[in-house]
């Protein structure tokens, strides 16, 4: 397929496209920030940073799990519904609707742990369906996408749960040395996952499974175990994000928590440069991807473009990013 | 061995006709249990309400048979409903054509991005889903747009023809057409061939790219048509409707036994899948009406999810058995 014309065109550009592919997300982010510094009034303030960080935290945390899932060549459509389950369950626990509480702090502790574990268990169930019955990930996770929100709605009877429990809401509203606690949590998760993907056996196994599942199996990698683990992790991340969202809102609405989250996170993963067919993944890229999408929206809103138009721009960015990736490969 | 073979062939029958059997069982159960379940009012309202889902699922069925997926159908329907509502003062035809044209436009973009830019269908249609939704909100000014009752436009959703709901007529015609095209035309064969093995069909000289382009355009147009019916039925173009329609349509197609890997599919079974998932909601209402239990409407998604789970596990078992037999 390589003819002289292609070769000539490719040679001088090889470095540029290679660089763009590697650092494209970073370059785009820097360009966006520079643009904002020049044109958006009051951009360089703590408040801007805080607003953007708090809005992006939940997406990033879920997107980290999604990155690992996509790295194995899978997809997880159920994350939004799992967020709803965890977000609906937590208030039921700390408000004492499920079991009477001997001490309110015990309720808070349980509410921080149990919902995340429940979401993790559902995530593991996704992985079990995929590995045990060899169902395609998009269908297997579609089951919980549909049923999961229903479960959350049935648990709360669709009612809005309003609360004011500062100990619990620290996870979404608290600050450590002036920095939002959720932002620190998000950074910790990003760093941990990036390290695990690059430097641990588990991380290499994930990429091997996504790159070539047969070869990975022949090389003695426990493919099913690896897959179940990434869906478990994705579930845990979704559960945690559900808690953060309800803590920020001081309210839990099973109909709304995490709605459309699966698409936001997949978009962040795609823009960040992770290959959607699996085998190559970057957690830091996903983080940058989520920041880019958030910052684009912020830029447009701050400059008076309506939210609806921002959606159209977001769509164009996603297609452009994935198309550029493809250009880099061929 | 023989016994095993018999089970496999039984399972295959269940896979092919399972959805029809399940549908009949459900109908029989409802007929025995509830008064007026098969009364014309209930049946006709059920068909009227589910016609738009049926149209979306038909397009999805075609896309999935080529091995692709179309996530944009829900917001395309929303866009179609807004355009139709805006054009409804100019008459029935203007609304109908406008809504379908809006859907066609989104479908064409999907087709071009998938075939020309080589972007995965999943991502391409995810992007157009956002774009269509944004466009719908912009056109509608972030609120629902009421349709004109001066013209005959609302007949498309609320009218009857030969005492059968107009939307159901439209869906019925679309399914008959869809079935004929799939089974009796070269294009239908191309769809299945491309989904079965794209490289092989390209080497055989089949127009793989054009086939894919056409199915996305078709899916968009049908979603636009569903939007027209949505607007006519509820008297308003609704920019935020259609959330989750794409996944409901995928579920109907899968319950109908169409494989997500492409190459195999049935238009009729997809219709049965739509009716099956629609009936669950309907029966839940009847069950509540009897007063024995009171299950909230929220149970319907749990039950639908459970149904889907059952079907995919059954399908997967069937596939592994066939692989083992081959």
Test A143 with B299 for CB contact under 8 angstroms: no
Band (B6; pLDDT cuts 50, 70, 90): low
The answer to whether residues B194 and B210 touch, using CB atoms and an 8 Å cutoff, is no
- Among all chains, which residue has been given the structure tokens 């999943």? B122
In the block, residue with structure tokens 């239908």: B188
Q: Which of A69, A142, A158 has the highest number of chain B CBs within 10 A, making it the mutation to test binding with B?
A: A142
Q: Note whether A318 contacts B: Cβ–Cβ < 8 A.
A: yes
pLDDT at position B294, please?
A: 67
Q: Does B309 touch chain A (CB under 8 A)?
A: yes
**Is residue A183 within 8 Å of residue A300, measured between CB atoms?**
no
Instruction: Give how far the C-alpha of residue B60 lies from the chain's centroid of Cα atoms, to the nearest Å.
Output: 6
- For B291, list phi and psi in degrees, rounded to 5: 80, 0
Q: How far is B319 from chain A (nearest CA, A)?
A: 9
Per-residue model confidence (pLDDT) at position A39: 82
Among A residues 288-317, those touching chain B with beta carbons less than 8 Å apart: 306-312, 314-316
Q: Which of B123, B319, B320 sits opposite A276 (nearest CB)?
A: B123
Q: What is the pLDDT of residue B251?
A: 85
Q: What pLDDT is recorded for position A54?
A: 82
Please give the structure tokens belonging to residue B78.
């929303």
Q: Does B317 touch chain A (CB under 8 A)?
A: yes
Confidence class of residue B13 from pLDDT cuts 50, 70 and 90? low
- B69 contacts in A (CB within 8 Å)? 138
Mean pLDDT of B217-227: 97
Q: Which residue of A has its CA nearest to B134?
A: A308
What is the reported pLDDT for A7? 47
Question: What pLDDT score does B8 carry?
Answer: 58
Query: Where in chain A are the domains?
Result: 57-259
Asked which of A19-23, A88-92, B174-178 is least confident by mean pLDDT, the reply is A19-23
Residue A116: how many other CB atoms lie within 10 Å: 23
Query: Nearest C-alpha of chain B: how many angstroms from A293?
Result: 13
Task: Give the pLDDT of residue B14.
Answer: 59
Instruction: Give the β-pairing of A251-252 and B145-146.
Output: unpaired
| Longest alpha-carbon distance in chain B | 69
Which element (helix H / strand E) includes B145?
strand B145-146
How far is Cα B26 from Cα B13, in angstroms, rounded to an integer? Answer: 18
User: Is residue B125 within 8 Å of residue B71, measured between CB atoms?
Assistant: yes
Q: In Å, how far is A97's CA from the nearest CA of chain B? A: 19
Section B138-160 average pLDDT: 88
Cβ contact B238:B84 at 8 Å: no
Q: How many CA atoms lie within 13 A of B109 on its CB side?
A: 22
Residue A139 touches chain B, beta carbons under 8 Å: yes
> How sure is the predictor about A47, in pLDDT bands with cuts at 50, 70 and 90?
confident
Residue A205 pLDDT class (50, 70, 90 cuts) = very high
Q: Which residue has the higher pLDDT, B270 or A97?
A: B270
The confidence score (pLDDT) of residue B318 equals 72
Q: Whole-model pTM above 0.90?
A: no
What digits encode the pLDDT tens for the residues B37-86? 888 888 998 999 999 999 999 999 999 999 899 989 999 999 999 999 99
Contacts of A228 (CB under 8 A, 6+ apart): A124, A127, A128, A131
- What pLDDT does A9 receive? 47
CA distance B285 to B297: 8
**Nearest-neighbour CA in chain A from B321: distance (Å):** 11
Residue A9: CB atoms within 10 A of its CB come to 10
B112 interfacial to chain A (CB closer than 8 Å): no
In DSSP terms, which residues pair with B145 in a beta bridge?
B237
Share the mean pLDDT of chain A.
87
Share of chain B above pLDDT 90, in %: 42
* Domain ranges for chain B: 40-278
**Which of B101, B325, B140, B165 shows the shortest CA–CA distance to B236?**
B140
Report phi then psi at A253, rounded to 5.
-125, 105
Model confidence over A227-280: pLDDT tens digits?
Answer: 999 999 999 999 999 999 999 999 999 988 998 888 889 889 988 888 888 888
Token pair for residue A324?
């550029």
B221 or A37: which leads in pLDDT? B221
């Amino acid at each position: 397929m390589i003819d002289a014309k292609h070769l000539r065109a490719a040679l001088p550009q090889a470095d540029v496209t290679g660089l763009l592919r590697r650092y494209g997300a970073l370059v785009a982010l820097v360009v966006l920030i520079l643009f904002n510094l020049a044109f958006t009034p009051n951009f360089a303030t703590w408040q801007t940073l805080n607003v953007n960080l708090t809005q992006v935290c939940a997406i990033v945390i879920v997107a980290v799990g999604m990155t690992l899932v996509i790295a194995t060549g899978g997809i997880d459509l159920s994350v939004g519904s799992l967020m709803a389950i965890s977000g609906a369950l937590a208030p039921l626990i700390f408000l004492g609707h499920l079991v009477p509480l001997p001490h309110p702090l015990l309720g808070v502790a349980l509410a921080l742990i149990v919902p995340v574990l429940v979401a993790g268990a559902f995530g593991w169930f996704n992985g079990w369906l995929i590995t045990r019955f060899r169902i395609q990930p998009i269908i297997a996770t579609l089951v919980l996408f549909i049923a999961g929100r229903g479960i959350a709605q049935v648990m709360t009877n669709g009612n809005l749960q309003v609360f004011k429990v500062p100990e619990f809401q620290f996870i979404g509203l608290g600050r450590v040395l002036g920095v939002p606690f959720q932002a620190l949590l998000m950074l910790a998760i990003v760093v941990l996952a990036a390290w695990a993907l690059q430097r641990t056996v588990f991380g290499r196994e994930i990429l091997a499974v996504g790159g070539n599942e047969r070869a990975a199996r022949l090389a003695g990698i426990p493919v099913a175990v690896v897959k179940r683990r990434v869906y478990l992790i994705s579930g845990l991340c979704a559960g945690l994000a559900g808690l953060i969202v309800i803590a920020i809102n001081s309210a839990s609405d099973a109909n709304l928590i995490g709605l459309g989250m699966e698409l936001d996170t997949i978009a962040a993963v795609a823009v960040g440069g992770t290959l959607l067919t699996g085998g190559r993944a970057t957690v830091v890229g996903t983080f940058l991807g989520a920041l880019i999408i958030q910052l684009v929206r912020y830029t447009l809103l701050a400059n008076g473009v309506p939210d609806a138009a921002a959606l159209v721009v977001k769509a164009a960015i996603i297609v452009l990013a994935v198309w550029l990736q493809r250009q880099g490969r061929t | 061995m023989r016994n095993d073979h018999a089970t496999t062939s039984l399972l295959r029958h269940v896979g092919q006709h399972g959805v029809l059997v399940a549908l009949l069982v459900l109908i029989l159960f409802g007929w025995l249990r509830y008064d007026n379940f098969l009364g014309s009012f209930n049946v006709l309202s059920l068909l009227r309400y589910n016609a738009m889902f049926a149209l979306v699922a038909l397009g999805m069925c075609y896309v999935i048979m080529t091995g692709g997926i179309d996530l944009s159908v829900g917001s395309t329907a929303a866009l179609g409903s807004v355009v139709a509502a805006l054009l409804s003062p100019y008459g029935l035809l203007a609304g109908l054509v406008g809504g379908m044209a809006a859907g066609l436009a989104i479908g064409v973009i999907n087709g071009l991005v998938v075939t020309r830019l080589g972007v995965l269908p999943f991502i391409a249609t995810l992007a157009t889903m956002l774009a269509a939704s944004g466009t719908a909100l912009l056109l509608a000014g972030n609120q629902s747009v009421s349709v004109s009752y001066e013209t005959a436009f609302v007949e498309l959703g609320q009218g009857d023809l030969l005492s059968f709901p107009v939307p159901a007529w439209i869906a019925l015609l679309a399914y008959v057409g869809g079935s004929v095209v799939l089974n009796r035309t070269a294009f239908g064969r191309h769809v299945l061939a491309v989904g079965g093995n794209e490289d092989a069909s390209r080497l055989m000289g089949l127009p793989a790219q054009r086939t894919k382009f056409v199915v996305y355009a078709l899916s968009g147009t049908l979603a636009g048509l569903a939007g027209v019916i949505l607007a006519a039925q509820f008297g308003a173009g609704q920019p935020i409707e259609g959330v989750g329609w794409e996944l409901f349509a995928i579920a109907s197609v899968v319950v109908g036994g169409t494989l997500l890997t492409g190459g195999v599919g049935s238009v009729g079974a997809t219709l049965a899948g739509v009716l099956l998932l629609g009936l669950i909601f309907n029966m839940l209402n009847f069950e509540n009406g009897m007063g024995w239990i009171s299950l909230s409407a929220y149970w319907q998604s749990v039950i639908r999810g459970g149904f889907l789970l059952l079907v995919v596990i059954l399908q997967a078992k069937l596939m592994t058995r066939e692989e083992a037999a081959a």
